[in-house]
Amino acid sequence: MRGFWWIPFIAASSLAQVQAQTAAPAPAGQQVVHRGLQVAPQLREHRNLEEEEMSVFLVGDDLSFDGEGKMVLKGGAQVRRIDSVVKGDRIEYDRDSGQVKVRGNGLMMRDASIVMGPEIDYNLNSETGEVTAPDFWLGSSGGAGTAERAEILSQQHMRLYDMRYSGCPCPDPAWYITSSRVDLKFDENEGVARNGVLYFKGVPILASPWLTFPITKDRKSGFLVPTYGMTSKSGVEFSLPYYFNLAPNYDFTLTPHYYSKRGLQLGGEFRYLGRGYSGIYSGAYLNNDKEADRKRWTYRLQHTHRLGGGFSAGFDVRRVSDDNYHRDFTALGLGEAQENSLPSHARLNWSGYKYFSAGLRVQTYQTLQDTDLGYYRRPEFDKLPELTFRGARYGWNNFDVVSENSVTKFRMPLRREMYRGVLYDLGRAGTTTRQAPDGTRFSSYTSIAYPIVKAGWYVTPKAGLHMSQYSTDWYKDELGPRYSSFDRTHTRVLPILSLDSGMTFERDTTLFGNDSIQTLEPRLYYLYVPYRDQSMMPVYDTSLATFNFAQAFDENIYSGGWDRIAEANQVTFGLTSRWLDADTGFERLSLSAAQRLYFNKQQRVTLSPGQVKEEDLVSKRSDYLVGVNAALTDNFSVRFDAQFNPETRDRNRMAAGIRWEPKRLASVSLSYRYERDPAQIADYRVEIDPENDRAKEYMTFSGQWPLSNKIYAMGRFDYSLQEKRNTQSILGFEYKGDCCWVARVVAQRYAVSAKDVNTAFFLQLELTGLGSLGTDPMGLLRERVIGYEPVTHDLPEKTTFERYE
């Protein structure tokens, strides 16, 4: 509401500085050029002008002086200055007292804000005045309102009585706020309303005896919009955040959060931003959870810092009080409820030279157990610490040289046991505490490649040398005789040779009657890695990689930290064909297929320490990989990806989906995902107990659809065919009001563990120009409902030239 400060429109410069300027028009077709002037590409504000530098222009049908310092303008009277305009049927100005009177159809404009009233009185000397029955329009926010009376108490303070305000630009606003008295303090960017009542459709829905709010979009301390909802895990929820604008570069939000089933939780978030650093500290604490009968808490500390000289540092620390914290307190969306491992790290990085970089990192994990699963999930290894060094130079005499080196100390946390719903570290009294060996790993991989790239084809030979050394604490007394024969130190040196090649062919064709360009892209990748016995080495952060189009052309079937490097003498064939629109290049259809052929007779490298696989390979061929993506029309598309066993023709993995989006706010998608038990993917001859089958099979339906021109439905349904249960359901409705408001209702039911579910129900009323009441479901809908679009459009930012004359 700073736009009320049109009053210095007449300012300290005397009205005697009346100027009238005329200019003869330029001849037709001739451009007027003023020496020293430049054409402005857009409207610009004139800043830093002193009052005496601004000329004042007077307009009126009649202008008179009484000889005693009083000037009167009648009939369409206007007083115009570069920063403001005042209009009225009659304007009187007393030069001695500084008093200005506007009578009849008074209007004042400044910074795109307008105030109108039948009578306006203002004193230039004391900077005080009064406006009778003002109507106002605010350029900064687009809001408008009326009042019985306005008092101008100083240049930075205005008071409105019996005000009615709305940020809705419609002729008949759907919402408005009334207040018996509002004080606007422009230097403090603060408005204070007494006895404020929010009306929606003429019905009062929110009232407060005292309310503060920012006048502009700048930040200001005060209460934020409350949120409310209901979940089956925590009951009725209500929160009322309070925002502290402590400084321009840091702030704090305090959020009391009430759960009817659990109690009162206190949360907070502190944010800061400095020259070269920033961070966010957040957390929540509940002293006594009535359901769990214990304290519940969570916190996260994030910081990044640029130290100069190519150095940077940071940390991200996450912790919760217990394994079920996110399952009990996650209100909307799966997100954190599905997290089973919370990583924390601190790092120091260096990249001060063109070809080299280094890093020092400490990383730990809090592993969250799901007691409904019936088994204990072993945590990941902590890295205490990890030192990395990388050198890379590309195009060095046509060679690409890359060297990646690391030294990591791994530590496995002690095993934990459950007591009163909480997992505790075990002591040594009669119980084994170790879960896996600890140790230090040095790893170095240096490779040299020589890419030969020509028009339509490429060949890339590559040679690398991987060196590793392990120093391992096997804890033979605690972990048992399994590791009795293992040496503390183990070294491995392996060459890795590969040859990657590909070609691209094109031809003009048609697809569905449209001119197209078809490509044919064959690819051939050969990999050779000799066998090394690695059975006496630990496994810290390595697992079997998922076989897909990217991994089929990779150097190792194992992913992670290279604790295992599989022997290889193999070639991978790949073929892709695409159909592109001839005019736009848009990809209408793509077909892909790949398979790997093995020349060696067996794969002896396994992930299990102490185990060597001596039997023949299950097959000389890898699984078939096939993929199809098709945009059959501009609004209908299908996709299909699958991995088939070449011996049995059974599927090992499959993903398929269709999507139809005929118009805005209307979309439907259906998808299917399947993955066989990992043991059967590795060897189809393995028999799996149906009760322990770890296969995954899901169906997902998602969509948004208009039920009328005002009501829209959206939702998602996930069903696990393997578990024979619904894992997530979302159903929501949006009602788009006539003007400036939208109502949303969203219900969600989702699995938080193997046997437990949570149900949440939320309402939201969005009032354009004011904000939203209730919990905001927009993040959930955008993330989970494929193709979701909000029914409202973002309003354009207002400018100071909104009502420019």
pLDDT the model gives residue 12 = 26
Domain ranges, ordered by start, for the chain:
2-13+53-220
Any residues with CB less than 8 A from the CB of 217 and at least 6 apart, and which?
140, 141
Residue pLDDT, tens place only, 469-495: 999 999 888 887 888 888 999 999 999
Mean pLDDT on 733-749 = 88
Per-residue pLDDT, 546: 86
Give dist(CA 415, CA 171) in Å, integer. 67
**Chosen CATH of 2-13+53-220 out of 2.60.450.10, 3.30.70.3270, 3.30.1330.10, 2.70.98.60:** 2.60.450.10
Range with lowest mean pLDDT among 381-390, 508-517, 665-674, 769-778: 769-778
In 3D, which of 792, 639, 766, 787 has the Cα closest to residue 715?
Answer: 787
Residue 185 — very low, low, confident or very high, per pLDDT cuts 50/70/90? confident
Is 60 exceeded by the pLDDT of residue 425? no
Of 504, 530, 529, 527, which Cα lies nearest the Cα of 517? Answer: 504
Least confident of 165-179, 277-291, 331-345, 347-361: 331-345
Say how many residues make up the chain: 805
How many Å apart are CA 321 and CA 290, to the nearest integer? 15
Whole-angstrom Cα distance, residue 707 to residue 661?
A: 15
Q: Which positions ≥6 away from 713 have C-beta within 8 Å? A: 704, 705, 706, 707, 731, 732, 733
**pLDDT, tens digit (0-9, with 9 covering 90-100), for 252-301:** 999 999 999 999 999 999 999 999 999 999 999 999 999 889 999 999 99
Tell me if 679 sits within 8 A of 608, measured CB to CB: no
pLDDT > 90: what percent of the chain?
Answer: 44
Which pLDDT belongs to residue 31?
46
Q: Which residue has the higher pLDDT, 38 or 322?
A: 322
pLDDT at 423: 45
pLDDT of residue 63: 86
Strand-pair partners of 151: 130, 159
pLDDT in tens, 133-149: 999 887 666 678 899 99
Q: For residue 757, list its beta bridge partners.
A: 751
Give the residue, 537 or 44, on which the prediction is more confident: 537
pLDDT at 45: 65
Q: What percent of the chain has pLDDT over 70?
A: 85
The confidence score (pLDDT) of residue 103 equals 92
Instruction: Read off the pLDDT band of 795 (50, 70, 90).
Output: low
Most confident of 117-131, 234-248, 561-575: 561-575
Q: What is the mean pLDDT of the chain?
A: 84
